[in-house]
Amino acid sequence: MSIYRRLLLTFCIFVTVVIIGGIGFKIMAGESYSFLECAYNAFVFVSTVDRPFSGALEKTCGTGYRIFTIFLIVGGMGTILYGLSTITALIVEGELTNILRRRRMENRIKNLRNHIILCGVGETGYYIAEELHKIRAAFVVVENSEARLERVKGMSDLLYVEGDATDDTTLEKAGIEHASGIILALHGDPENLFATITARQLNPGIKIVAKCVDPKAERKLKGAGANEVVSPAAIGGLRMASVMVRPAVVTFLDKMLRDPQETTRIGEITVRAGSDIADKTLGEVRLGERTSVLVVAVKMPDGEKFRYRPAPETRLVPGTVVVLMGEVANMKKAEALAGRAEGAGPAVEGP
């Protein structure tokens, strides 16, 4: 039986004992006292505060009163001792600590803005959580398996919601209304499809990245509202081929992404109107000198193609996406220079 049920049972037994005591005293007292007075005196007696009726009833009822009060003492004290043991167990077993920690975490999730929601930390989701934690992104894990949650709870300051990712209430607890993106890494395509529909309804502007097990489900997921669909099987196949024909490149990427001490990443920033680097050339803004990052490519707002190794004369008009490589901390500096549009930018905690 859970701690909460034991506490509820203790309360119910205590109330029952008081009611029985009130009924017993009423029978013995007759019309001299009302039932409410009898119940009150029973409560006072069971609580070991005072003798019922200040001993007046004992003189008139004699032996019957004494026998009844013996059973009432045993019942009342037994209930109180059981309740105390339950409360002690609540503290010793850490239930109270868990409750307080859960409330603090819920408050932190409510204050998140522009964060990422990760649904599912199974075979694929675990590595996603590991990477998001490593780059210090603000994210909330949604998982209905306690065993899978235990696997990722070792990450410091992990925020999570235990529940079904396809349920509206669960996603609302994860702060989907204020989230900038959601990653759906659930077990099967039907779950990811349903979660996509749910997420899109709750937040029409959110970016949705969904896992696809069967390639045939990709079209359905995009039709349901997913911005991007990723197939782990396809990516795994491409990686195996790359290991065979481009081993040095794969080793370089592995060192960058998997080394626990390495924080170098490839990232992107979007130039915002009115920012420090808007409408200036790459040569003028000197991103490399100011933030120690390497500019890999740019994508202009009016095109889909990337310009690799862009020339210093490339003008960074608002909406330009700049692909960078560098330390995570330096990426943040570049983001600050590029500015943040209202409702966009990196995830932060705050009101």
Give the position of tokens 């003008």: 315
- Residue 78 belongs to domain with CATH number: 1.10.287
Distance, in Å, from the CA atom of 99 to the CA atom of 334, rounded to the nearest integer, reads 40
pLDDT tens profile 105-134: 999 999 999 999 999 999 899 999 998 998
CA angle, 184 then 187 then 191, to 5°:
65
One domain for residues 223 and 133: yes
Confidence of residue 304 (pLDDT cuts 50, 70, 90): confident
One domain for residues 283 and 173: no
Query: Counting Cβ atoms within 10 Å, is residue 211 exposed (0-12), middle (13-18) or buried (19+)?
Result: buried
One domain for residues 119 and 88: no
- 178/76: higher pLDDT: 178
Domain that holds residue 68: 3-92
One domain for residues 123 and 226: yes
From residue 187, give the alpha-carbon distance in Å to each of 151, 191, 200, 231, 332.
16, 7, 19, 12, 33
pLDDT tens profile 149-176: 988 988 888 999 999 999 999 999 999 9
Q: What is the CA radius of gyration of the chain?
A: 32
Q: From its phi and psi, is residue 147 left (phi > 0), alpha (psi between -120 and 50) or beta? A: alpha
Q: Is 255 inside a domain boundary? A: no
Total domains present in the chain = 3
Closest to 323 (Cα-Cα) out of 210, 314, 206: 314
Q: Give 270's DSSP letter.
A: E
One domain for residues 199 and 126: yes
One domain for residues 217 and 117: yes
One domain for residues 216 and 116: yes
- For residues 338 and 270, is the Cβ–Cβ distance under 8 A? yes
pLDDT of residue 278: 92
pLDDT of residue 111: 94
Is 240 a residue whose pLDDT tops 70? yes
- 84/273: higher pLDDT: 273
Q: Is 318 inside a domain boundary? A: yes
Is 57 a residue whose pLDDT tops 80? no
- For residues 141 and 160, is the Cβ–Cβ distance under 8 A? yes
- Residue 160 belongs to domain with CATH number: 3.40.50.720
Percent of the chain's residues with pLDDT above 70 = 88
One domain for residues 22 and 61: yes
Confidence of residue 221 (pLDDT cuts 50, 70, 90): very high
Q: Is 152 inside a domain boundary? A: yes
